[in-house]
Amino acid sequence: MGTPSRLFGTDGIRGRANEYPMTPALAVAFGRAVAAKFAQPDRPVVIGRDTRISGPMLEQAVAEGIASMGADVMLVGVVPTPAIAFLTRHLRGSAGIVISASHNPFEDNGLKIFNADGLKCDDALELELEGLILSDALRNQSATGGRIGRVETWPDSAARYADLAVEAYGQGLDLRGVRVVVDAGHGAAYETTPSVLRALGAEVRALNAEPNGTNINDGCGSTCPDLIQKAVPEFSAQIGLAHDGDADRLICCDETGSLLDGDEMLAVIALDWLKRGRLAENTLVATVMSNLGLDECLAAAGGKLLRAAVGDRYVLELMLAHNLNVGGEQSGHVILRDYNTTGDGLVTALELLRIMKSRGEPLSRLRLALRKYPQLLVNVKVRERIPLDQLPEVTDTVKAVEKELGTKGRILLRYSGTEPKIRLLVETRDEALLQPVADRILASIRNHLAVL
């Protein structure tokens, strides 16, 4: 995977808008670097964004940087992150840029890149881009006169993408008679997901689909799934869908209002594809965070599981390396390579609905195939990310606990790639052990690491 860069985390550059590094000045430099690395004649760089108030400001800055290098830009406005992966290919773009901070609050924003094939950059390429952004290497490389790039807008982008999505993802799917609750989180999918579902015949109740620039993820969306849990029974819906701000992941609930996480969605999809001979190499890709029950679930059906590092691009890297077509994360990023090259909340929802329709079974029954081990995930805010190998007292505590647990559980301790947090995952066969084990490790963390 290489060595992570300073600007780029697990999902692009992210920070508080109008504060370093998420400033217009850096966005211009970012655009210039992307143009230098990716630009091709007659192939624009496609730029999309979510609904944050800072989005248009950063969009214009990135476009300025690209055009100043002589490359053309196509602005597609507010669309989900996976739409940019799709549209970069559809519009024959040389690269795609997403301006979004996903599930973060509206004050934050971020920059993500897709290449011409709709794939995220690897660590080595991000380090190369960072070098161009932070150095003077491009200072004397500016276009003038007729060589300056053109900045154009793709009209009615959300509606046009929704039409393309119905054609690409909804083939043969008849949702007449199906009721769906969608919580768009006032984010990028506030128009597209309801539109696609309605076009396929579903009756949709859309929640939090009135963005104003500052209400994205504000007590709604995938981080507040209690809203769909309540609305689904009230609406007599078969499924509830909750997106994060850029809709590259999905959290859903079944018809009873009971939540499914990414592991459960992956199990439903992988087992169905395995049964129909559609799961490549009979193998699913998940991450080190995924439940041990997923391994057992796949093995019992004659399949197997490969684990990647946390981050959907690392999942995709492993999928590409082994030519696999289904992978994802517990957080709700699900990649179905037969449809798209990145996590896609809309595609995941449509595939779950397709399986429910073809099997004639409710989601509450389909999910029973996965028997999960008890897990406890704790996030602790930190002042700085001191490498764990420089905290021997903490790592020694983890090793001691792991030795005591043996085969009855596991511990995973890592820093978030997008926020100033350290994440602790405890997984055991015996649920009664979760909190005592977590408390022991958390005490060591608080004794040796400055927390907020």
Active site residues: 102
Neighbours of 377 (CB within 10 A): 13
* Cα angle value 339/342/344 (rounded, 5°): 70
221: region left, alpha or beta (phi > 0 left; psi from -120 to 50 alpha): left
| Three-state secondary-structure class, residue 373 | coil
Secondary structure element (H or E) that encloses residue 152, with its range? strand 151-153
Sequence-ordered strand ranges (E) for 234-328: 239-243, 250-253, 259-260, 283-287, 304-308, 326-328
Adjacent-strand bridge partners of 252: 241, 260
Cβ 16 vs Cβ 106: under 8 Å? no
Supply φ then ψ for residue 221, to 5 degrees.
75, -160
Cβ 448 vs Cβ 393: under 8 Å? yes
3-state helix, strand, coil in the chain (%, to 5): 40, 20, 35
* Cα angle value 35/39/44 (rounded, 5°): 100
Cα–Cα distance between 436 and 427 in angstroms, integer?
12
What is the DSSP code string of 16-75? ETTSTTSSHHHHHHHHHHHHHHH-BTTBPEEEEE-S-TTHHHHHHHHHHHHHHTT--EEE
Rg (C-alpha) for the chain, rounded Å, is 22
Secondary structure element (H or E) that encloses residue 398, with its range? helix 392-405
Supply φ then ψ for residue 17, to 5 degrees.
-60, 135
**Distances in whole angstroms, Cα of residue 448 to Cα of each of 270, 383, 384:** 42, 12, 12
CA 51 to chain centroid, in Å, comes to 16
Cα–Cα distance between 59 and 4 in angstroms, integer?
25
Q: In this structure, what token pair is assigned to residue 296?
A: 């057992």
